[in-house]
Amino acid sequence: MKTAIIYDSIYGNTGKVAEEVARVRGEDAKLIHIASARKEDVAEAELIIIGTPTHGGRATAAMQTFIKSLPTDIWLNKKVAVFSTGMPASSVSLFFRMVIKILGYAAAPTLAVLLKMGGLHAGEPAEFMVKDKQGPLIEGELLRAGKWAESLK
Ligand SMILES: Cc1cc2nc3c(=O)[nH]c(=O)nc-3n(C[C@H](O)[C@H](O)[C@H](O)COP(=O)(O)O)c2cc1C
C-alpha cells in the first residue's frame, strides 16, 4: 500500500520512531519531514501516517499548519493513522503533569481531525514516550512502534 509518513521532530525522537515505522512498512513507504511535506504527498498516498511531538497536548504548530493548509476533501477515503511522542506524567514536573493530565497527548486529537475530514481509521492513535523533553526514547518504545506500524490496516 502506498504510504506517506509525514513527521515533525524538534529533538530527533519522533524522527527515530518515524524511521522505524517506515522500515516496518517497507518499500512502499515514503518518509517525509514536515519541512518538505507537500499536498501531493497526501494526494498520492493510500495510507497517511502522521507523526508529531506533543506540544501543549497537540501536534506541533508546523504539523497543524500543514494539515490546515490542505483542502479538507483530500482526506476522503484515505487511510489515516497518527502517532505522537510525549513524556510520561509520572516523570515530569508538576506543571507538565497538569498539562498532560488535562490535555493528553497529540495523537488522538490529531487523528480525530483527520477522521472528521473523511479519513478512514487505519489504527488506534499511538503515543511513544521520551524520558525528558529532549529524549531519549524510553527503552522498548521503538519495538512498540514497529508493532504498531505492523498492525495498521
Ligand atoms: C514547547 C513544548 C511543549 C511540550 N508540551 C508537551 C506536552 O504537552 N505533553 C508532553 O507529554 N510533552 C510535551 N513536550 C515534550 C515533547 O513531547 C518532547 O519534546 C517530544 O516528544 C520530543 O520529540 P522530538 O525529539 O521529536 O522533538 C513539550 C515540548 C516542548 C518543546
- Beta partners for 6? 32, 50
Whether residue 66 contacts residue 6, with contact meaning beta carbons closer than 8 Å, is answered with yes
CA 53 – ligand 1 centroid, Å: 5
Instruction: Tell me the domain boundaries of the chain.
Output: 3-151
pLDDT in tens, 53-85: 999 999 999 999 999 999 999 999 999 999 999
C-alpha span between 60 and 10 (Å, rounded)? 9
Ligand 1 contacts (CB < 6 A) are 9-15, 53-57, 85-87, 99-100, 103, 105, 130, 133, 135
CA 102 – ligand 1 centroid, Å: 15
**Pocket of ligand 1, candidates 93, 133, 134, 141: which has the most ligand atoms within 8 Å of its Cβ, to mutate?**
133
What pLDDT score does 7 carry? 99
For the domain bounded by 3-151, which CATH number is listed?
A: 3.40.50.360
Asked if pLDDT for residue 91 goes beyond 90, the answer is no
If you average pLDDT over residues 1-23, what whole number do you get?
Answer: 98
